[in-house]
């Protein structure tokens, strides 16, 4: 039971890890993108649309091309979330709109977009299937490493996940190295801390903000895709993704803007999300209400971290200094 708990916790954590890595990159450029929940929905539904159209164009399940069936949803997801990132960057960087308002509008739009297509895709494409069930695509997305089952407990805990799960961890590690070990990463952090200084040092502010936001959105969008294709076994149901997007933003604060800590943090948050299912075995009289209280825990610890960090005022733990502010060169 412990093993299956760890497994489920990691699978719950992966979308959060994608979301928080994406948001960290974005926030390091000084953009507080509150559109992440919407972007994750769009990433998920874009992949679903791609997979749905491809699956329905097949004459039989055997005709599926193993490369295309993974590639099409992936590229659709990347495209969908990239466009969302582009909308955000265009409005906040080029048109200097308020970041909070833009982000919230993006979330409204994105969740609406996801639920709309989730609810209307079948009608719009005139196909006669009862629900969006992409078990074929999902079976490719959730392929695990072939030797996982032969390694016993170690194999189940460490090697029983799909390629998107491992990519999430690899992306988080690469992001950490990028931010701390490369020149471009240093410049990106400079843009987020103090754009005026970075500008004076010859860094192209707009380019960094655009790139960071769009790359961040794409990474976050993959989290949505992972959720639908692997965790939910290819079944799209409206609002099933829930508040995971906001949880991803909480995770950013909880891990004090460090993607490598996010790997552990996401598993912890994922565990808290599902722990009530396993507590029933130990405490039989636990009820649905208590489960809601346990789900409160990630937010409470996040606030504690946020307050603690701000009280300690240790420079490297604080949020990027210009987070949430628009930069206009002439206005200093």
Partner 1 sequence: MSENRDRTTKEPLFHISKRVSLPMWLLWTIRIASVAAALIVCAVVIVLFTGDNPISIYKTMIEGAIGTERRVWGLVQSTAMLLCVSLAVTPAFKMKFWNIGAEGQVLIGGFATAACMILLGNKLPPALLMVVIIVVSIAASAIWAVIPAIFKAIWNTNETLFTLMMNYIAIQLISYYVYKWSVPAGSGKIGVINSGTEAGWFPELFGQKYLLNIIIVAVLTVFIYIYLKYSKHGYEISVVGESENTAKYIGINVKKVIIRTMLLSGAICGIAGVLLVSGTDHTITRDTAANRGFTAIMVSWLAKFNPFYMILTSLLLVFLQKGAIEISTVFGLNDSFSDIITGIIIFFIIGSEFFLNYKIKFRKSHKEVADK
Where on the chain is the footprint of partner 1 (CB under 8 A)? 32, 34, 87, 90-91, 94-98, 100-102, 104-120, 123-124, 238, 243, 246, 249-250, 253, 287-290, 292-293, 295-296, 299-300, 302-303, 306-307, 310-311, 313, 319, 323-324, 328, 330-331
22 within 8 A of 218, measured Cβ to Cβ: yes
CB of 117 to partner 1, least distance (A): 8
Length of the chain: 332
Q: Give residues with Cβ within 8 angstroms of 91, minimum separation 6.
A: 97, 102
Q: How far apart are the first and last CA of the chain?
A: 59
Q: How far apart are CA 202 and CA 200, in angstroms?
A: 5
Three-class DSSP category at 235 = strand
CB of 68 to partner 1, least distance (A): 26
Residue 242, number of CB atoms within 10 A of its CB: 12
The number of CA neighbours under 13 Å toward the Cβ of 37 is: 23
Name the residue nearer to partner 1 (CB basis): 150 or 313: 313
Name the residue nearer to partner 1 (CB basis): 159 or 246: 246
CB of 57 to partner 1, least distance (A): 20
β-sheet bridge partners, residue 133: 235
Query: How many helices (H) and strands (E) are present in the chain, helices listed first?
Result: 13, 0
Burial class (CB in 10 A: 0-12, 13-18, 19+), 159: middle
CB of 258 to partner 1, least distance (A): 16
| Token reading at 183 | 């020149």
Name the residue nearer to partner 1 (CB basis): 88 or 208: 88
CB of 59 to partner 1, least distance (A): 28
Backbone angles phi, psi at 133, to 5 degrees: -125, 110
Name the residue nearer to partner 1 (CB basis): 44 or 114: 114
CB of 124 to partner 1, least distance (A): 7
Name the residue nearer to partner 1 (CB basis): 118 or 216: 118
Name the residue nearer to partner 1 (CB basis): 178 or 246: 246
CB of 257 to partner 1, least distance (A): 11
Lookup result for tokens 């308002």: 101
Name the residue nearer to partner 1 (CB basis): 146 or 289: 289
Closest CA to 218 of 88, 83, 104: 83
Name the residue nearer to partner 1 (CB basis): 142 or 217: 217
Q: How far apart are CA 297 and CA 28, in angstroms?
A: 26
230 within 8 A of 74, measured Cβ to Cβ: no
Name the residue nearer to partner 1 (CB basis): 140 or 269: 269
CB of 226 to partner 1, least distance (A): 22
CB of 231 to partner 1, least distance (A): 20
Backbone angles phi, psi at 235, to 5 degrees: -100, 120
For 92, the enclosing helix (H) or strand (E) is: none
């Amino acid at each position: 039971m412990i093993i299956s708990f760890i497994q489920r916790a990691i699978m719950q954590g992966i979308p959060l890890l994608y979301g928080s890595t994406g948001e960290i990159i974005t926030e390091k450029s000084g953009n507080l993108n509150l559109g992440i929940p919407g972007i994750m929905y769009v990433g998920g539904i874009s992949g679903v649309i791609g997979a749905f159209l491809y699956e329905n164009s097949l004459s039989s399940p055997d005709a599926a091309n193993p490369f295309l069936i993974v590639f099409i949803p992936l590229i659709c997801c990347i495209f969908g979330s990239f466009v969302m990132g582009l909308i955000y960057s265009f409005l906040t960087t080029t048109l200097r709109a308020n970041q909070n308002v833009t982000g919230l509008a993006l979330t409204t739009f994105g969740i609406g977009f996801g639920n709309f297509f989730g609810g209307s895709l079948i009608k719009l494409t005139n196909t006669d299937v009862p629900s969006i069930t992409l078990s074929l695509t999902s079976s490719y997305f959730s392929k695990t490493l072939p030797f996982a089952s032969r390694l016993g407990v170690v194999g189940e805990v460490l090697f029983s996940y799909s390629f998107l799960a491992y990519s999430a961890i690899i992306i988080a590690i690469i992001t950490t190295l990028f931010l701390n070990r490369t020149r471009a990463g240093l410049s990106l952090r400079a843009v987020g801390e103090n754009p005026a200084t970075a500008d004076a040092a010859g860094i192209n502010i707009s380019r960094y903000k655009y790139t960071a936001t769009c790359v961040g959105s794409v990474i976050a969008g993959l989290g949505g895709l992972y959720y639908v294709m692997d965790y939910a076994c290819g079944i799209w149901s409206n609002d099933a993704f829930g508040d995971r997007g906001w949880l991803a933003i909480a995770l950013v604060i909880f891990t004090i803007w460090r993607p490598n800590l996010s790997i552990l943090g996401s598993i912890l948050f994922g565990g808290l999300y599902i722990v009530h299912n396993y507590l029933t075995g130990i405490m039989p009289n636990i009820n649905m209400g208590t489960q809601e209280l346990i789900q409160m825990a990630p937010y409470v610890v996040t606030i504690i971290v946020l307050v603690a960090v701000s009280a300690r005022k240790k420079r490297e733990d604080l949020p990027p200094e210009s987070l949430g502010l628009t930069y206009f060169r002439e206005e200093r």
